[in-house]
Amino acid sequence: MLITFLNLFFGLLSGHRILLTLYQKKLIQKQTMTKIGTAYAVLTLIFVIHAGKNQTFAWFGVFFALILLNQVQLLLQYSRRKHFRREFLHLLNLVVLKMKAGRGLSHAIIQSKESFDPFFQNKISEIYNVVCFSQHFDFKNTDLFLIEAINELKKAHQSKQNSLQRIIIFRQKLKIEEDFRHRSRLITQQTRIQLYILCVFFISLLIYVVSQFGIKQNSSLILSSTALFLIGFVACIFIGRKKTWKV
């Protein structure tokens, strides 16, 4: 009983910390944090209550929910980063349009900001303050792309004569990068889709086998099968990620 309680307590605590990190990184809003947190706590509680005296199942339940939460974090980080590059390119398109219509760079940024969602509007405001008012910005934990974008906009802001030209050249570079990113994403996408589908099948089958035949009687079978599956999983990720350019 005590072990189950401690397992549940530390599981929930870890989940809370992951959610706090998500909130601090501005990946989710406070309301979303409460919703996800409640869903996570309910899911974990259901697992632990359903497990009863079966310690293994309780541990599995708590860690499964934690892994799920961690995956949400990775997914959000990835989608925000991916989203940011695309949105930034869109911002540059609008800025170039406004500048061609005779606006200054800072005015063009402020006017273009209105077309984006609140999360990205905040980001643009931060960039605007750094570029136009040289406000302090913590570059330590920042994405290399954001640093490059800020530096480029700063230079364009400083060079009044050819600021539009600089932004057009930067936009062209980003478009080429985006095109190549899309091409290489096709490689990782295929791997990822295959892995997700296989994972769903494997977990479903695992739950079926455990519920039908019991975990203790087939522990060695389940362990060896899971190990084999994980080796294949890691190998697939390795194949999808490893890219040494020959060019």
Partner 1 sequence: MEGLSPPLHLCMEIRIGIENGDSMQTTIDRYLMNNPTVFGQFVQKWYFMYKQGRSTSDFLNSLESQYRQTLLEVVEGGLNGQPILKLITELETEIMQATKDELDADLKLLPLKLLLPLLLFQFPAFLLLLFGPLLSTILKEFTL
Name the site residues for partner 1 (rule: CB under 8 A).
144, 147-148, 155, 162, 165-166, 169-170, 173, 176-188, 190-191, 194, 198, 201-202, 205-206, 209, 212-213, 217-218, 221-222, 224-226, 228-229, 231-233, 235-236, 239-241, 243, 245-247
Are residues 109 and 133 in contact, defined by beta-carbon separation less than 8 angstroms? Answer: no
Min dist CB 69 to partner 1, Å, is: 25
Q: Which is nearer to partner 1, 19 or 156 (CB)?
A: 156
Which of left, alpha, beta for 245 (phi over 0: left; psi -120 to 50: alpha)? Answer: beta
Tell me the CA distances in angstroms from 11 to 58, 59, 189, one per residue in order.
11, 9, 32
Q: Which is nearer to partner 1, 43 or 96 (CB)?
A: 96
Min dist CB 226 to partner 1, Å, is: 7
Closest CA to 87 of 212, 210, 218, 178: 178
Min dist CB 134 to partner 1, Å, is: 19
The count of other CB atoms within 10 Å of the CB of residue 139 is: 13
Min dist CB 57 to partner 1, Å, is: 17
Min dist CB 187 to partner 1, Å, is: 6
Q: d(Cα 129, Cα 80) in Å, to the nearest integer?
A: 21
Radius of gyration of the chain (CA): 24
Q: Which is nearer to partner 1, 68 or 209 (CB)?
A: 209
Q: Which is nearer to partner 1, 12 or 127 (CB)?
A: 127
Amino acid at 231: I
Q: d(Cα 211, Cα 229) in Å, to the nearest integer?
A: 20
DSSP strand E in the chain: where?
none
Q: Which is nearer to partner 1, 2 or 247 (CB)?
A: 247
